[in-house]
Structures are given as structure tokens and as C-alpha cells.
Chains A and B, each alone.
Chain A
Amino acid sequence: MQVNEKKGEFKPTIVAFCCNWCSYAGADLAGTSRLSYPANVKIIRVPCSCRVNPMFILRAFQRGADGVILCGCHPGDCHYSTGNYYARRRMTMLFSMLDYLGIDRKRTRVEWVSAAEGTKFAAVMNDFAQTITELGENVKLGDLRCKE
């Protein structure tokens, strides 16, 4: 979380995991098309959405992320055939567990973004950033030590 002193408004920290073949390329296309989305979205490139361990998502929240989004190829289009199907199950289960623990369920999201969907990528990031900004700072799943 960074509070922009100048403007005094809440600027959430958002981590976006993007698979190399579709979503990262989709993000590139958003860039090439000059489609803007908030600067507090930072992308981590992973080979496939199935590389994303629930541990990474918890880690992001621990370190102060306010929202985490995972983007992969559309189901059926995975570069590795089946990776996003596993990712889909894993994330569904993880998100459900976080919700069960009473942690804001809208702080996590999965979106399928193809390499051709630059527009979708930007729209998704804008929407997600908006949602997280409205939710405010992540307090339920952070590590106080990292905020000192």
C-alpha cells in the first residue's frame, strides 16, 4: 500500500501474475495500443497460470499487496494444453478458502486474457484497480512487520 502524499488518496498495490503466452502478450498489446491502466498494477511473468502457487498469492498479501489477479490463456487455449485448467481449480479452491476465512473475496481474481485481447487486459486491470481502491487497504491478510 502506498499513500500518495501529494494527492492524499489511497493507491493500492496490485500484483498481476500473467502467463507468458497469452496474458503477458495481451498486456504487451495493451501497451502497444497505448491503453492505459493504473500504474499500481505490476506484472509478474510466469510461464503458465499453472505455475502460480497459492503460496505466491498469500505472500503478496503478506508483503502488503491489496489485490492479486491471475491472468492466463482462455480455457482450451493453454500453450501447455492443460495448465490453466489446473490453475482454475486451484484458484477456485484458494479463493473459496480465503472467503471462508472472512477475507475480502474481491481482492483476488482470475481472468482469461488472450494475446489478442489488449483491450480486455486494460479493461480488466482498470476494473480490478477500481474494485481494490473501493475496498481500501488490505488489513485482514497482511503482515504487520512488513508495514513498519
Chain B
Amino acid sequence: MLKLSLNRVGDLFAKIAEAQALYLPVEKAGQVDYDKWTADAKVSMDHLNTAKSAKDLFFPQVERMVDFKMEGKNIEIKPHALSDEKFVLFGVRACDMKSMEVLDKVFLAEPVDSFYAARRMNGTVVTMACSEPEESCFCNVFGVDAAEPAGDVVTWKVDGELYWKALTEKGEALTEQIKALMEDGDEAKVEESKAAVREIMGKLPLANLNLAPFQPEKLNEMFNSPKWAKLSEACLGCGTCTFVCPTCQCYDIRDYDTGHGIQRFRCWDSCMYSDFTMMAHGTNRPDQMQRFRQRFMHKLIYFPSNNDGMYSCVGCGRCVSKCPISMNIAKVIKALGEDKDE
């Protein structure tokens, strides 16, 4: 394990950025999101969760897929090049790291999504353990240890020092690049901080959400629960929850006529939208209750059914804090998990 004084992280970032692009939490107009590091970027080391999740780096909101060029009446089809930018993603929290496992299940399963795969291959993820969890956090419910994230490299912030430990080959390679800045670190201090964080995690208000009822065999019962109507009643049908969610992975494919040709791109879609999966005959989920139900059934029942029990929620709490009407997965788990209908 290596360490570096937090006062010198600037040097660390500069060093990393020498060899590849560096993305990390940056404050812009009062909001912290992943952005490219520059010497004058306002890097936020303390912010717990970025507003948008780390998935943006691998599955961006808009991705160009193919161009159609028109010359006279001829059309030429030009697939858009895959991203070849080598980059380091720094400061990913345990929950967002966990979300990559979920996304990998979707995008790296056959047929492999080449856009996603290219970005995954080119990216090295440096995670950071949490030190001050929020009341909206419930990653522990999904088996995530906020104190010990996965990733290519994991870091801890303890007593003014950044502790650094490579976990994978990619991580080792990155460590080689920056080793000169580092000194050896003391594992015991990190262990101490891990224990403290785990203790807080256990005491969080949402720490005891009960996932036991959400089993594949309960599909019909859950689907037909009368509670959905009440839960979805106030839903605005906006895409906030899906867009800030680190695991939501639905997209739409659209064409844009530039006047000289067509650019085909994909962009995030939201199952909360009224035109989600709009088919020739219309939409297959005509009311908001059905759309709302889809989102949570997918996260809690359908996805685990198809992926060895892996829920497609990681408990990051973004929907808890961002939903305009404060309706979120935690409330859904509680309501549906209760034994009896109210």
C-alpha cells in the first residue's frame, strides 16, 4: 500500500494526466460531476456522490454510432469510430463500482456492445472508499462495502493522506506511472477507518431494507400488487431517477439530419417516459403506473432472475435525493416488502 499527502494530490493528477485523460469529480456551477481534469478544474475530493454516476464514462448519454453521407443521390454508410481515448477515472465510490458489474452483465454479454467494451477496455478505475456516508446511502443492502470498494486501484482518505492500493493489472500499470510521487503507507490506519465507516453504514436509516421478499418466484405476486397504483400516483414521468441511476442502461436510437447527411446516435432513454419502447402500434405501457412498475420490477425481480440474483440497484441513493417528488426505490422496497397490503 502506498500513500501520498492529500496536499499533493494535484501533483498526482497532473502526473496521471500526462499519460492519459483523467476524469474525476469536478465542481461546476455548484454541482459535482465527473469531468476531465485540467490544472484549474475545481476538483472535489470530499463530495460523496457525483450528481450523475460513473456510468457516463462508459455509457455516455449520447453516443454516435454511424453516419450516412449523401452525395447527390448516393448514400455512403460510415460507422463511427469506437472511442480510443485511454483514461483514468478517479474517485469512484463503491456503489458506482458495483454498478459496473451490473452494466458489464448487460453490455459485455454476447452480443458485446462494442462502444461500451471499448470504453471499458480503455478505462482504468480508481475507486475511493467512503468516509462520511449520507442518510440516503443503502449500498450495504446490496452487499456493497463502502469501506472497501473494488476497482483497478482502491484509495482511502485517512488523516490527510491518500492511501493507494492496486487491485488489478491495469491498476498496477497505473501505479507504476505514479509511484515516484508515493511513499509506503501503513495498512493499520486504513483498517481503523474502514471499521469506523462500516459502523456508520450499519446505523444508517435505510441500512435495514429487507430484500428477502424480492425473489423471482414472487414475480406475479409483486407484479399484481395493488400498491403500485398508490406508489406511482405522483410520479411526474420525468427521467431523473433513470438518468442519475448508475445501473439504468436503456437507450434509444435516433437519426439526426445535418443537412449533409444523417448521424445515427444512441441516447439514454427512460422507462418512465411515455414514449418508451413506442412501437408501431403505440406504446406498450400506456399509463404511468405500468412504467413506474417496470422500472422497479426490472431492478428487483427481472434483472436478478436473469443474472444469478444480482439486483440492478446498488444503493447509491441518488434517486432518493434527486427525485422531484421524493418517490424512490427505498420506499418501493419498504412498501412492497411488507407482509400485508395496507
Tell me which residues across on chain B come within 8 A of A64, comparing CB atoms. 259
| CB-CB nearest in chain B for A147 | B258
**B263 contacts chain A at the CB level, 8 A cutoff:** yes
Contact residues of A with B, CB < 8 Å? 63-64, 143, 145-146, 148
Interface presence of B260 (CB below 8 A):
yes
Q: Which 9 A-B pairs have the closest CB atoms?
A: A146-B258, A145-B258, A146-B259, A145-B263, A63-B259, A145-B256, A148-B258, A148-B260, A146-B260
Residues of B within 8 A of A146 (CB): 258-260
List of A residues within 8 angstroms of B259 by Cβ:
63-64, 146
Among residues 155 to 214 in chain B, which have CB atoms less than 8 Å away from a CB atom of chain A?
A: none
A143 to B256, CA, bound (A): 11
- A61 → chain B, closest Cβ, in Å? 13
* Cβ distance B304 to chain A, nearest Cβ, rounded Å: 40
Q: What band does the interface of chain B fall in when counting residues whose beta carbon is under 8 Å from A?
A: under 10
- What is the CA–CA distance of A148 and B262 in the complex, to the nearest angstrom? 11
Chain B residue nearest to A143 (CB atoms) is B258
Q: Which residue of B lies closest to A146 (CB)?
A: B258
**What are 10 of the A-B contact pairs (CB < 8 Å)?**
A63-B259, A64-B259, A143-B258, A145-B256, A145-B263, A146-B258, A146-B259, A146-B260, A148-B258, A148-B260
A148 CB contacts on chain B under 8 angstroms: 258, 260
How many whole Å from B199's CB to the nearest CB in chain A? Answer: 49
- Shortest Cβ distance from residue A3 to the other chain B in the assembled complex, whole angstroms: 16
Determine how close the nearest CB of chain A comes to the CB of B255; give it in whole angstroms.
Answer: 12
Residue interface mask B223-263, A partner, CB < 8 A = 1: 00000000000000000000000000000000010111001
Bound CA span A64–B258, Å? 10
CB B110 to nearest CB in A, in angstroms, measures 32
Residues of chain B with a CB closer than 8 A to A63's CB: 259
Q: How far is the CA of A4 from the CA of B124 in the complex (A)?
A: 46
Closest residue of A by beta carbon distance from B265: A145
Known: A64-B259, A146-B259, A148-B258. 8 other contacts (CB 8 A): A63-B259, A143-B258, A145-B256, A145-B258, A145-B263, A146-B258, A146-B260, A148-B260
Report A-chain residues with C-beta under 8 Å of the C-beta of B258.
143, 145-146, 148
A146 to B258, CA, bound (A): 5
Least CB distance from A145 to B in Å reads 5
Best-buried of B259, B260, B263 by chain A (most CB within 10 Å): B259
C-alpha spacing A141/B263, complex, angstroms: 19
Complex-state Cα separation, A143 to B263, whole angstroms: 13
Of all chain B residues, the one with the shortest Cβ separation from A64 is: B259
User: Which residues of B have CB within 8 Å of A143?
Assistant: 258
Closest B-chain residue to A63, C-beta based? B259
Query: B262-285 CB contact bits vs A (8 Å, 1 = yes)?
Result: 010000000000000000000000
Complex Cα distance A148/B256, Å?
13
Q: In this complex, which of A63, A64, A143, A148 has the most chain B Cβ atoms within 10 angstroms of its Cβ? A: A148
B210 to A: closest C-beta gap in Å: 49
Give the CA-CA distance A145 to B258 in the complex, in Å: 6
